[in-house]
Amino acid sequence: MSIDKNQNLTTAIQGLIVWTVIPLMLNWISKQSYWFRRFINGGPTVLIQQGKILQENLHREHMTVGDMMQLLREKNLFNLAHVEFAVLETNGKVSVLKKTEDQPITARMQGTLVVNETEPRIVVIDGDVMERTLDYLGYTKEWLLGELMKQGAMEFRDVFLAQIDAKGSVYVDLFADDIKQAKIKVRPLVAATLKKAQADMEMFALQTEDPAAKEAYALDAAALKELIQRTEPYLRE
In CATH, what number is assigned to the domain containing residue 140?
A: 3.30.240.20
With b for 16 or more beta-carbon neighbours within 10 A and e for fewer, the 30-49 pattern comes to eeeeeeebeeeeeeebebbe
Interval 113-146: pLDDT, tens: 666 667 889 999 999 999 999 988 888 888 898 8
Structural domain includes residue 114: no
- Which residue in 79, 84, 78 sits closest to 101, CA to CA? 84
Same domain for 56 and 36: no
Mean model confidence pLDDT for the chain: 85
Same domain for 141 and 79: no
Same domain for 128 and 78: no
Same domain for 159 and 132: yes
Domain range enclosing 89:
45-100
Structural domain includes residue 212: yes
Same domain for 230 and 131: yes
Distance, CA of 159 to chain centre: 24
Same domain for 151 and 68: no
Structural domain includes residue 223: yes
The enclosing H or E element of 15 equals helix 9-32
Same domain for 75 and 163: no
Same domain for 28 and 16: yes
d(CA 19, CA 155): 64
Q: What pLDDT score was predicted for residue 153?
A: 87
Q: What pLDDT score was predicted for residue 186?
A: 65
Same domain for 36 and 55: no
The enclosing H or E element of 31 equals helix 9-32
Structural domain includes residue 108: no
Residues 6+ apart with CB under 8 A from 22: none
Same domain for 154 and 57: no
Interval 187-211: pLDDT, tens: 777 777 888 888 888 888 888 888 8
Same domain for 164 and 126: yes
Structural domain includes residue 152: yes
Q: Which residues of the chain have pLDDT under 70?
A: 113-117, 177-186, 237
For the chain, the C-alpha Rg in angstroms (whole number) is: 31
Same domain for 178 and 204: yes
Residues 6+ apart with CB under 8 A from 64: 58
Structural domain includes residue 2: no
The enclosing H or E element of 39 equals helix 34-41
Residues 72, 78: contact at Cβ < 8 Å? yes
In Å, what is the CA distance from 178 to each residue of 127, 146, 163, 206? Answer: 17, 20, 20, 41
What is the separation, in whole angstroms, between the first and last Cα of the chain?
79
Structural domain includes residue 218: yes
Q: What pLDDT score was predicted for residue 152?
A: 84
Structural domain includes residue 107: no
* Residues paired with residue 98 on neighbouring β-strands, in sequence order: 83
- The domain total for the chain is 3
